[in-house]
Each structure stands twice: as C-alpha cells, then as structure tokens.
Amino acid sequence: MTRAVIAEPRIGASILRLFFHDCFVQGCDASILLDDTPTFTGEKNALPNRNSVRGFEVIDTIKTRVEAACNATVSCADILALAARDGVVLLGGSPWTVPLGRRDSRTANQSAANTQLPPPFANLTTLISLFADKGLNARDMTALSGAHTIGQAQCVGFRTRIYNDTNIDTNFANARKAGCPVSGGDNNLAPLDVQTPNKFDNSYYKNLMLRRGLLHSDQELFNGGSQDALVRIYSNANAAFAVDFAVAMVRMGNISPLTGTDGEIRKNCRVVN
C-alpha cells in the first residue's frame, strides 16, 4: 500500500471506496472483487461500480505476495479491510485495529449493488435509512461520509448539484462547472475535498459548512437537518472525527462476515476457487 499510494495518492481513496462498496453488498466478503464470466454475474458492472470502482490491481498484487508467504490462509476480504485502513493512514489519517477472520464469498449480487449503495443524489432521510439497513446509525453515516476528504468524483455524479442546487457556494459551483459541462464530460473528475484532496483530515466538514460539498448527498449532512451539529463538531475537532471514523469503520467492517466453514479463502481474488 505504501508503494501504491506513493505512486498515486488517489488509490488510497479508491480502495477505501472499494471496501465500502464491498461491505454494503452481502457484507464484507470480497464479493465486489469477483470478475464477470459467461456463467457468473459479479458486482463490477452494477451502476454504482461500472467505470468507477478501481484499485483491483493493487489488491491482486497484495494477494499474490500474501499467498507466496502464507498460502490459502488470508482472505481477500481481510486484505481489502486492511488495505482500506492502510490507505487512510498513509494519507494522514489515524490508525485503527482491523478485526480479522473474514472469509470470501462464492457469490455476488449485482441487483443488491444497484439498490443498496447510497447514490450521490440521495437526501438525508434516504442516507440514514440505507445505513440503518446495514446496522449503522446516523452518527456512523456522518463519520463515514468524511471519507470524502480524499478522492475524486465524476461529473455525472455532481452535475445536477452544481447546476440545480441552491444550497451551494456560487464561486465553488462556477469553478466546478468549468470541468463539468451541462452535457458531455461525464467522466471528468473533481476532488471531493477541494482544500486538501490527498490528505485525510476534517476539511470535508469545513467545506460542508461553507456549502462546498461536491455531491448532493454530501451537502445533505449540513442543510438544516439532524446532522448539522455533528458536522460542526467534526469541522472544529479533527480528533473527534478521527475517533468516530475509526469506530464506524470497524462497525462497517463487521457487516455480515463469513466465518467458520462459510465461504472460502480464495486463491485469486477475481474468481471463486
């Protein structure tokens, strides 16, 4: 992970998102890593994932080295959980202990990926509900959203926000419009945190207070609703954010793990044994 993040700082955010998108579909079971085949439909081509989830090659590299050192022992699911943590730490975030012992699924669920992952246009009620479905409360949701202190989003995910939303800083919206036209340029990227896009800090929450959330779903956390007070706390105290983020990451990492004789330890993260 150190080599990967030095080569491309954004990869820390990409792998963190990969872990999130894994855990919200069938639990943290590495189902998102399975490739589509003529007889198997995975999750990589679900709408929230197609042409946007990335970092698979880094996980492949880690898996190859782990197998060489200690074969058929460490799951792809655990590797992804550890890589997500390490990416955060390498970009300046606080470390946490990752519980281990997950096993890998033999199945994936594209339809669940299409319906259970929070979309960038979701409102606060929908966000709270989608996280509650996974056993995560509103505080967990607001803390985990702080992952958007790093990484990039595609124009298609924030176009309606910068052109239609009114709870947005005008200068910020105008700056984003330069790289995200009304039509075309769907894959053009912009940093989720314009202040420190490659530093894991609490700037995301400071941006929200200035109405500079890039996604509609980001700004929903600070828009006269139930999470405003918590956003204020996190924007004023990076330490408070760091503690809650770590707790919430462990809770997310504990969603429906496969243990005991359930699942398997994949030899290649892209295919079932």
The DSSP element (H or E) to which 191 belongs, if any, is strand 189-191
Q: Does 75 show up as a binding residue in the annotation?
A: no
Q: Does 166 show up as a binding residue in the annotation?
A: no
CA 7 to chain centre: 20
* Longest distance between any two alpha carbons in the chain, whole Å: 55
Q: Are 128 and 227 in contact (CB under 8 A)?
A: no
Q: How far apart are CA 95 and CA 108, in angstroms?
A: 30
Q: How far apart are CA 227 and CA 223, in angstroms?
A: 8
Q: How far apart are CA 204 and CA 144, in angstroms?
A: 11
Q: How far apart are CA 98 and CA 30, in angstroms?
A: 15
**Residue 216 is among the residues annotated as catalytic for this protein:** no
Q: Does 41 show up as a binding residue in the annotation?
A: no
Q: Does 43 show up as a binding residue in the annotation?
A: yes
State the burial class of residue 218 (Cβ atoms within 10 Å of its Cβ: 0-12, 13-18, 19+).
buried
Q: Are 172 and 37 in contact (CB under 8 A)?
A: no
Q: Are 165 and 217 in contact (CB under 8 A)?
A: no
Q: Is 144 strand, coil or helix?
A: helix
Pick the catalytic residue from 10, 17, 21, 63.
21
Q: What is the DSSP letter of 223?
A: S
Tokens 């176009």, located at residue: 159
Q: Does 149 show up as a binding residue in the annotation?
A: yes
Q: Does 135 show up as a binding residue in the annotation?
A: no
Burial 150-181 (b: 16+ CB within 10 A, else e): bbbbbbebbbebbeebeebeeebbeebeeebe
Q: Does 262 show up as a binding residue in the annotation?
A: no
Q: Are 244 and 143 in contact (CB under 8 A)?
A: yes
Residues assigned a catalytic role = 21
Can you say which residues are annotated as belonging to the binding site? 22, 25, 27, 29, 31, 43, 118, 148-149, 193, 196, 201
Can you say which residues are annotated as belonging to the binding site for heme b? 148
Can you say which residues are annotated as belonging to the binding site for Ca(2+)? 22, 25, 27, 29, 31, 43, 149, 193, 196, 201
